[in-house]
Structure 1
Amino acid sequence: MKHHDDTDFDVIRTEVRRLCDKYGNEYWRSLEPDKYPTEFVADLTTHGWLSALIPEEYGGGGLSLSGASVILEEIAASGGNPSACHAQMYIMGTLLRHGSEEQKQRYLPKLAAGEVSLQAFGVTEPEAGSETTSIRTKAERDGDTWRINGQKIWTSRALHSDLMILLARTTPADEADDRLGGLSVFLFELRGDDGELIPGLTIKPIETWMNHNTTEVFFDDVVIPADSLVGTEGKGFRHILDGMNAERILISAECIGDGKFFLERASAYANERKVFGKPIGANQGVAFPLAQAYANLQAADLMRWRAAELFDAGQSCGAEANMAKMLASNASWEAGNATLNTHGGFGFAVEYDIERKLRETRLYQVAPINNNLVLAFVAQQCLGLPKSY
């Protein structure tokens, strides 16, 4: 991939769409219910799109998060499912901003060249859920290694990743300096030289409503090198916030892309389909829900760009990133529902791809954070209301 000026988003859209068109919606349909889009991800990697956020000095594209968001938006707008690859982008924030130079030199060129993949983000646990500070997975120093025990869940694409970024407790909660302390971040290789998972590591797929390739991961005395620690021990929660904000912004862009896919399909069908002698789009019962969804999608898109600009400028963007994710996920679901209603029975037919995309976009009202938690965050941080969680 040649280097793009970050303002030249139209070029990115054109080139990414050209790549996506090689596959088409038939390809994504053929992967249901749980096959991984290996060929598509390999093609993205070969063309440099998955290394977009890696600085040029390490062999990457050197794009801003805004530029990266356009890549994922366009995949979604084409009818594809960008969740197969988005983690390698949003995880990068933690490594780029807090990793040592040695870690960057070791991994970034290989990631940029497509020799290894970084898709696994081990944070969520069965008992903790969104309450990240209560995680129990432990990492204990043992000489020149760390020994890990615990469990992670909803660790998507772990079976298709060579590396994992893991958040684990290195200081007991009751001994940590504050509620956010005592957690550390680790970056390590999931497989040995023989290609098998490292000893003590077990990864089990979780069947879900949509094709998301998610898993649960078990650590039973997993030993990793001491230099796997990213940043400062005990500051891990703060370190992953960069990745979390990037994740919310990129997810919002995917939802915007989903919304565009829906409304493009709905508008075409409402113009073509004739009932009682006129296109169904002439009926306000069809047109108004689509128009309302379009307006809400456009408004959500503005918040997406605002959040991305703040992130790229290195400024605080927690509220904006969360609001962008919430607004965009609500807008894409609204657009999907309106599109389903526009198509009537055909909206449920697999060959129209609407039911598949509706399942995919529904996820983002509850992940990577539930929209109710976004509202609680906004109420407290933006309005100064009492803490609710």
Structure 2
Amino acid sequence: METSGFTPEQLDVREAISKICSKYPDEYWAEHDESGEYPHELHTDLAKDGWIGIALPEDLGGAGLGISEATMMLHTIAESGAGIAGAQSIHANVYATQPVAKFATPEQRQRMLPDLIAGKSRTCFGVTEPNTGLETLKLRTSAKKDGDQYLISGQKIWISSAQVATKMVLLARTTPLEEVGKPSEGLSLFFIDLDKSASGLELKRIKKMGGRAIDANEVFFDNYRIPADTLIGKEGEGFKIVLHGMNAERCLLAGEALGIGYVALKRAAEYAKDRVVFGRPIGMNQGIQHPLASAYMHLEAAKLATYHAARLYDNSSNDGSITQHAVGVACNSAKYLAAEAAFTACERAVLTHGGMGYAQEYHVERYLREVFVPRIAPVSREMIMNYIGEKALGLPRSY
């Protein structure tokens, strides 16, 4: 990857994270993908050096940097060979805490975030539901007030790291959908304990195609009790609050996609230089060279879009000329472009290796399995195109 044009802070992050990740070669990630064992060691090393709180306030123990630097961190983790799995081991701890840091009271921030930054606790993000999927505004998980507590009932799905997390940033409906004027009303955000020994909580691990070192889960709530003081911001305003984290997540996932795309392309180029067929390295053949060159240029273009979006996100808080409309369009565009460029790079890396691309020992098959994630989550390619069609082009809403 060409690194000119990045800020000194971003390059410092890249160098420091690369040193940490050098302890975890591709073989480590292949073994963990095979066994499904969580990469606890990486999380410990990142927490020890303060990286979990890269985009959280310094007064809480964080680094006080921005989503631009956090994107570089996750980009670098993925590019080390850790792929999407390695990045996802701390993904939610970076973006899901952004709404908490911005909208929680000072007392809540001091109570909720320092242990997470220090690596003593971990969080997961509870939004997606099996029956609503991308229709976030129609989610049905309920939070009913009961004195100084809420009772949570419902189901979440595709909750990463819930098996190891002790906290959850949870979006639930405090007013039934039938009783609100607009679907965006009546949703509330909570930062809760995920106590697996308590009644009313059940987790079921989902078997999946790739990134198997990071658990994905169905989470069932049945009158699960949480304290009322876990509510973040005002009751009923959770959707507006959680949007603050969703644009950040698009930047981070774009960075992760770039990382896995670049490492796949690096492996393909190395193989193409070394593999000799008919008396010449296959990389000399334009049938190999041109697809890889094209993949590189598309990654570079997506890289520019990604870090532009992250910069807009960071600067929007103190620059009134940057609208949330502009941030949303940039972050969604970046996620789309990075995911597509990364998928192409990973596919071409497998094809460059020929039959050996299908073998685990060359790792590119693992990259290809994992690179589907940024194309699907947290929002599909098609929904991003719907969004851009409506918000950027002014076309009629299609959904």
Place the TM-score, normalised by the shorter chain, in its bin: over 0.9
Contact 1:6-1:63 at 8 Å conserved across structures:
no
Match of 1:102 in 2: 107
Contact 2:295-2:344 at 8 Å conserved across structures:
yes
Is 1:62 aligned with 2:64? yes
SS in 1 for 2:26: helix
Is 1:346 aligned with 2:346? no
5 Å-filtered alignment, 1:115-194, equals: 115-118=120-123, 120-191=124-195
Q: Distance in 1 between matches of 2:127 and 2:354?
A: 40
Q: Distance in 2 between matches of 1:111 and 1:234?
A: 26
**1:299 Cα deviation from its structure 2 partner:** 0.9
CA offset digits 1:175-229 (Å, max 9, x no partner): 21312111110111112xxxx4322111111110011310000001101001111
Contact 1:13-1:70 at 8 Å conserved across structures:
yes
**1:305 Cα deviation from its structure 2 partner:** 0.9
Contact 2:52-2:118 at 8 Å conserved across structures:
no
5 Å-filtered alignment, 1:72-83, equals: 72-80=74-82, 81-83=86-88
Return the letter of the residue paired with 1:157. S
SS in 2 for 1:234: coil
Given candidates 197, 212, 215, the residue that maps to 1:213 is 215
**1:174 Cα deviation from its structure 2 partner:** 2.2
Return the letter of the residue paired with 1:24. P
5 Å-filtered alignment, 1:181-330, equals: 181-191=185-195, 196-210=196-210, 211=212, 212-314=214-316, 315=322, 316=324, 317-330=327-340
Contact 2:56-2:98 at 8 Å conserved across structures:
no
**1:164 Cα deviation from its structure 2 partner:** 0.4
Match of 1:384 in 2: 394
Return the letter of the residue paired with 1:20. C
Normalized against structure 2, the TM-score is what?
0.93
Given candidates 343, 353, 361, the residue that maps to 1:333 is 343
Q: Distance in 2 between matches of 1:383 and 1:9?
A: 33
Is 1:88 aligned with 2:93? yes
Q: Distance in 2 between matches of 1:292 and 1:260?
A: 12
Contact 1:149-1:220 at 8 Å conserved across structures:
yes
**1:356 Cα deviation from its structure 2 partner:** 0.7
5 Å-filtered alignment, 1:33-44, equals: 33=34, 34-44=36-46
Q: Distance in 2 between matches of 1:172 and 1:91?
A: 24
Contact 1:6-1:67 at 8 Å conserved across structures:
no
Return the letter of the residue paired with 1:149. S
Return the letter of the residue paired with 2:12. V
Q: Distance in 2 between matches of 1:360 and 1:256?
A: 12
Q: Distance in 2 between matches of 1:100 and 1:358?
A: 42
**1:382 Cα deviation from its structure 2 partner:** 0.6
Q: Gaps spanning 5+ residues in structure 1: where?
A: none
Return the letter of the residue paired with 1:384. G
Return the letter of the residue paired with 2:33. E
SS in 2 for 1:136: coil
Return the letter of the residue paired with 2:60. Y
Return the letter of the residue paired with 1:206. I
**1:6 Cα deviation from its structure 2 partner:** 6.5
Q: Between Structure 1 and Structure 2, how many residues are aligned?
A: 380
Match of 1:366 in 2: 376
**1:351 Cα deviation from its structure 2 partner:** 0.9
Contact 1:188-1:224 at 8 Å conserved across structures:
yes
Q: Distance in 1 between matches of 2:153 and 2:33?
A: 34
SS in 2 for 1:186: strand
SS in 2 for 1:165: strand
SS in 1 for 2:204: strand
Match of 1:27 in 2: 28
Return the letter of the residue paired with 2:202. T
Superposition CA RMSD, Å: 1.3
Contact 2:206-2:215 at 8 Å conserved across structures:
yes
Contact 1:245-1:322 at 8 Å conserved across structures:
yes
Normalized against structure 1, the TM-score is what?
0.95
Q: Distance in 2 between matches of 1:289 and 1:147?
A: 55
Match of 2:319 in 1: none
Return the letter of the residue paired with 1:90. Y
**1:15 Cα deviation from its structure 2 partner:** 1.5
**1:32 Cα deviation from its structure 2 partner:** 2.1
CA offset digits 1:28-69 (Å, max 9, x no partner): 111123221111111111111111112111111111111111
Q: Distance in 1 between matches of 2:142 and 2:310?
A: 33
Moved more, 16-25 or 107-116: 107-116
**1:365 Cα deviation from its structure 2 partner:** 0.6
Moved more, 35-44 or 241-250: 35-44
SS in 2 for 1:304: helix
CA offset digits 1:245-288 (Å, max 9, x no partner): 11110000001111110111111111111111211111111011
SS in 2 for 1:305: helix
Contact 1:53-1:92 at 8 Å conserved across structures:
no
Q: Distance in 2 between matches of 1:241 and 1:71?
A: 22
Query: Share of identical aligned residues, percent?
Result: 43
Moved more, 243-252 or 174-183: 174-183
